[in-house]
Amino acid sequence: MTDILQLPGWEATGTRTEQGEFIIEAKYTVPATACIKCGVVGALYRHGTKKVRLRDSPVRGLPAVLDGTVQRYKCRDCGETFLPAMQGIEAARRMTERCVHYIQEQCTRDTFTRIAEHVGCVEGTVRNLAGERIQALNSEFQPYLPEWLGIDETKLDRQMRCILTDVGRNQPIDILADREKPTLARWLHQFKDRSVVKGVAMDMWRPYRDTVKAVIGNDVPVVIDKFHVVRMANQAVDKVRIRVQKEKDARTRVAWKRSNHEGVPMKVDGFATTFSAQ
């Protein structure tokens, strides 16, 4: 039959679907050459077989199980019985290595609950593997200080958190635990050469500006990004509009709500001068 398993050292002998899972029957074909207990070579003999049930990455949209048969051995020297180390298998987790890799790749794209449902394992297993994946990514992560630094924030888990971006490359650099001044200062202080920064774009959160001036220097240009300027301007105009509308009579308020494209002339006394006087 076609090798649907495609796992080195394993030979598929059959498949079936059972209780919503895709079962692959297989046998392990690589013989043991040395005792894994005492290390003696050439003193082994076969001692029956053992059934193993291992989780595999999903097949055809179903959770997959490797229903394997493995030769068991006994050592004439130490008398211990054992199973050989199986290629492509993480015995401690009772999973194939590719299933582990599948979970760790998916954990950054989907919820732990959905991944557990797709694989057919418990959510705790997904959480543990995701933790290992995150630790590995963190160990590889190297933050840097760009020429054009962007400082903003977003709300995650009900808390505002500072985000550092490389404006020149249009990509994120790091996200901090909060947006407080000491946290941002610690992040900036990790870089010995802060003279590489040519400019900083940020919102109107004053601790950002104070921190940049204190840590990087007063000579670095600080620019308020367009989004926040436009938003604050719109809010200011709205406040003036609401206040002025409350001061006018009903006829004036109705006339102000009409637009010229409807053919209604804007001939209300004081309309042109109201906002210029604010």
Expressed as residue numbers, the domain containing 188 is 148-224
The pLDDT, as a whole number, for residue 277 is 45
Question: 0.75 cut: is pTM over it?
Answer: no
Rg of the chain over CA atoms, in angstroms?
A: 33
Last residue of a domain, one of 99, 118, 138: 138
Residue of higher predicted confidence among 247 and 162: 162
**Segment holding 199, helix H or strand E:** strand 199-202
* 19/128 same-domain check: yes
Average pLDDT of the chain to the nearest whole number: 88
Evaluate whether 44 touches 84 at the Cβ level (below 8 Å).
no
Evaluate whether 93 touches 100 at the Cβ level (below 8 Å).
yes
* 98/183 same-domain check: no
Last residue of a domain, one of 88, 109, 138: 138
Evaluate whether 126 touches 109 at the Cβ level (below 8 Å).
no
Q: Judge whether 176 lies within some domain.
A: yes
Measured between alpha carbons, how far apart are the two ends of the chain, in Å? 84
* 31/122 same-domain check: yes
Residue of higher predicted confidence among 268 and 25: 25
* 48/116 same-domain check: yes
Distance of CA 147 to the CA centre of its chain: 26
115-135 confidence digits (pLDDT tens): 999 999 999 999 999 999 999
- Rounded to whole angstroms, the Cα distance separating 182 from 109 reads 32
22-49 confidence digits (pLDDT tens): 999 999 999 999 998 898 898 899 999 9
Total domains present in the chain: 3
Q: Which structure tokens are listed for 276?
A: 């210029």
* 125/167 same-domain check: no
Closest CA to 44 of 77, 11, 4, 15: 77
The pLDDT, as a whole number, for residue 203 is 86
145-196 confidence digits (pLDDT tens): 999 999 999 999 889 999 999 999 999 999 999 999 999 999 999 999 999 9
